[in-house]
Amino acid sequence: MTALLWTEALALQQPRMDTTHREFVDLVTELEAALPGPIHGVDDCLARLLEHTVEHFAQEERWMLKLGFSAQNCHAFQHAHVLQVLREVLRMQHEEGDLDTVRQLVAELAKWFPVHAQTMDAGLALTMAEQGLAPETT
């Protein structure tokens, strides 16, 4: 069973954000699917997930700063924590071949992401709409 699937419940009616979120869900799904395969495939999927997530979170944080959110806010703190965990799991997988930790990562991201998207990101999308921030220009 797939741990994380895109559903319309995750859609925030902000096309750029929704596209990025779908990509994140797809990458988590690809990582989960790679787990029974060779370790280098898992490493590649983890690296792609990390690369995407760095840019995904940086984009949201640029929007937050443009809207006047403090750089030290709960939303950005969650981003920093997730990136720290992704980097550590990638390191452990690369150095130790620790697939159990990768499986745990997939399970935890599958729990965390829908809540984050439906709360933190929904609030950001609403604020962007209210203040007329065009995400395509930032």
Question: Which pair of structure tokens corresponds to residue 76?
Answer: 């950005």
Mean pLDDT of 37-43: 83
Q: What is the pTM of this model?
A: 0.93
- Provide CATH code, domain 18-29+39-131: 1.20.120
128 Cβ contact list (under 8 Å, min separation 6): 14, 63, 67, 135
Distances (CA, A) of 5 to 80, 87, 91, 95, 126: 23, 23, 26, 29, 23
Asked whether 133 and 63 are in contact (CB, 8 A), the reply is yes
- As a whole number of angstroms, the distance between CA 129 and CA 80 comes to 25
Q: What is the mean pLDDT of the chain?
A: 92
pLDDT given for residue 101 in this prediction: 94
Residue 137 has pLDDT above 70, yes or no: no
Q: For 72-106, what is each residue's pLDDT tens digit?
A: 789 999 999 999 999 999 999 888 888 999 999 99
